[in-house]
Every structure is written in structure tokens, then in C-alpha cells.
Amino acid sequence: MTISLKECQLMDSQDTLAGLRDLFDIPENTVYLDGNSLGVLPKATLNRVTDVVKNEWGQGLIRSWNSAGWFASPQRVGNKIAKLVGAYENELVATDSTSINLYKVLFAAIQKAKTSPYSAQHRYVLSEKSNFPTDLYIAQSLCAQFGLELKLVHWNDVQAHLNSEVAVLMLTHVNYRTGAMYDMASMTEKAHSVGALAVWDLAHSAGAVPVDLNAAQADYAVGCGYKYLNGGPGAPAFVWVNSSHANEFHQPLAGWWGHATPFQFTTQYEPAAGVSRYLCGTQAIINMSALEVGLEAFEAAQALGGMDALRKKSLALTDLFIQLVNERCTGFGLGIATPLEHSMRGSQVCLSRETGAYAIVQALIARGVIGDFRAGGASTGEPDILRFGFTPLYIGFVDVWNAVEQLKQVLETNEWQAEQFKQAHAVT
């Protein structure tokens, strides 16, 4: 029996997290299911950024590096992110972009692997074919630099290819195309058992699913500030290094902010202690302030059960979406690309379709249901994807019902076949 709109309204009325939605500025008549690509605007961000620009910059000027705490912002904001990913105090810094941070930690991981008892056997950095492309590009560059090969396998086959020839296992915890989630602890343990180090990309995990880097004994991790953390477009990313590795090796982008005493202005580089050495140049303070506001929603959520409560709601939202699509959108060539098992699913649901996926997404966007499209094809051997992210901070159960209702109408009327929806945009 199909779930009704009234039942979804009841679910929203019983949702203890529903009030968190009021912290965000969501456009009217919009069902925003793309927070896994760009989170929505927290209402407090505008005033905070205005204060930074008008008062801290405008009036405090250079004094604000001290008086407004600008200089310590990578560590301060990093410690707030740390609470969401199982990092200890002062183990994580907010800085740079995910791609730049991945370059730093993968370089450090390969350097460390060279000192391993297995180093003579090491030939590969191992990853999956459908990993996010920037991760693969960074790995290709570093493999060429260090004389290694980048070995790419299907995500189901990664564990079978872990052996003593692997120097570094580089995985995204939640796959950007499908929402499939690895067991981080299990994969890290397997990597360590064959002498490999584990590097994790948390771009689709941080703020969406519970993560415990230290419990998993991961080695390195990076992540994004503008998706589930709602830091705004181009928000600083973050980098974490296991404390057992943090003081080993210089990361390759040795800049003055990562120096032990930057205002001594010495000509020789001396790395700061711990993860602060993974800083490089001057920080983007206005963007950092916006990210800090985005993290305040998680502080509010802490009183309501924190990440465990958010995860429970996320699974309920994605379960509902899957159920409604199966009940109301059959016969239109849609498949469920996201794992049904809770332990293997992130906070998104991806629908597969052999043709027309892009146009269907565009037709939905025109109706106010915003998801996005991810191409399949020869590079992945997989069909195209209609991708929908469910951010439990601000998505409700009625949103899910409305999204599927609009999808049903787009499919039933063939509205998506209009030429206007087939015109490719630069960003999909």
C-alpha cells in the first residue's frame, strides 16, 4: 500500500529534529535534494559574513588577525569538524580545497610507505574506478612522480586486490555517484594487514553519516566544507592525520602558515607540530567564517541526539524515497543504484536510467525539485545517474513525498522530452 501525503505529514510532526530546518534559508516552493553537492544557506551566515567584512575587516583591519581570532581559525573550525568525524582535539584543520589537501596527505602517505618493511614490494596506489575524478587525477600525478601505478578496480573488488603490492589504499567513504558506503574500520584493517596505509575522502560523509576516524585507525583523511557542512560555495575543506603520523614527513606544500614560527620569517622551513604543518598559505577568512556558521547547526543538533539522531533520520528519509519510487514510478526504466542495506548506504539515493536521465533531472529542477545528474558511460561501465541527497538537518518527509510526486508526473507526461531540458549546462 502506497504511503500517503498525510502519513508523511505525520512523520514530520513527530520528527524531533524538524526544528533545525528553521536555521536555514530554503527558497519557497523548493525541495532541495542537492545538499550533497552544495548545502543550503544558514540564516545566520549573512549577518556573520557582514560582520567580518564590515567590522572585523573594515574597522579592525589587520588587528583582527589577533583580536578577532583570524589566525587561529583553521584550528578552531577544525576542532568543530573533528567532533563530527571522530578526530581528537587539534588533530584536524580546516584549510584549502579537498583536492589540495588530498595531494598533501597522499604525498605524505606514499613517503611513509617507502619506509615500510613492504616498500620493496610496493607497486600500486589502489582505488576504485568510480571514485571521484579529482581524487584519481591527484593520484595519477603522484604515482607518476613516485614511480607507482594507480590500480583501479570495481568497488566490490577492492578488498580482493589488497595485497603487499599496495602502498596506499585511497577511497572515498561514500561514493559520489551511488551513495554506496564502505566499512571504514574493516577496509582500514585489511589495508594495514598487508602493509598499506589508508587515505579516506569524507566529502560525502562529514555531517551526513557518523564517522570515527580514530576508532577505525585510519591514517589520513580529507573532506569538504560546502556539502553537508553548509559552508557555502568554495568553503574551506579539511585535513586530518592520525596522531601517530602527524610529525612524520614534510607535506609537499611547505608554506609559511605551516611553519613552526611563521612570524620569525626565517629562510629555512621548520614544520609546525602535528596537523598544523598541513597548512600552507594565508587562509580565506571570509569563507572560513561562513563555514563556522554552517557548523553551528550541528552544535544545535547535539542536544537532540547529534550524529546518531541525524543518521537515523537520514536512513528514514532515504528508505521512504526508495519505497515511494518503487511504488509510484515503476515501468519507467528507473533502477536503484544505491545499496538498500543501511550499513552500506550514505545519505543519498541514486536512480539509474539508460537514457534521458539528464533531461529528467532538468525537468524536475524546473518544477522546484533540485537534484543533479552524474554521467555513466564508458569510463565507469555504468548507466547515467539521477542523484538525490537527503540532508537531515533541513529535509522533511513531506519533501520526499513531493519530490517523488513530481518525478512521477515528469515521467508520466513525458515532460522531460522537451528540447529545453536536453540543453547541456556547464554544471550538471
Active site residues: 132, 201, 226-227, 387
SS3 content of the chain, % helix, strand, coil (to 5): 45, 15, 40
The C-alpha cell at 136 is: 584519481
Contact 253, 104 (CB under 8 A): yes
Check: CB of residue 114 under 8 Å from CB of residue 255.
Answer: no
**Helix ranges, 182-260 (H):** 184-193, 213-216
Pair type for strands 348-353 and 335-336: antiparallel
C-alpha grid cell, residue 232: 557555502
With H, G, I as helix, E, B as strand and everything else as coil, classify residue 34. coil
Q: Where does residue 236 fall: left (phi above 0), alpha (psi -120 to 50 degrees), or beta otherwise?
A: beta
- CA–CA distance, 308 with 310 (Å, rounded to integer): 5
Rg, the chain, Cα only: 22
CB 240 within 8 A of CB 102: no
3, three cell numbers: 504511503
Query: Going by C-beta distance under 8 Å and a sequence separation of 6 or more, which residues neighbour residue 267?
Result: none
Q: How many helices (H) and strands (E) does the chain have?
A: 12, 15
Residues 178 and 350: their CA atoms lie apart, in Å, by: 5
Q: What gap in Å lies between CA 131 and CA 170, rounded to an integer? A: 9
**Residue from 101, 118, 342 nearest 236 by CA:** 101
Residue 180 contacts residue 174 (beta carbons within 8 Å): yes
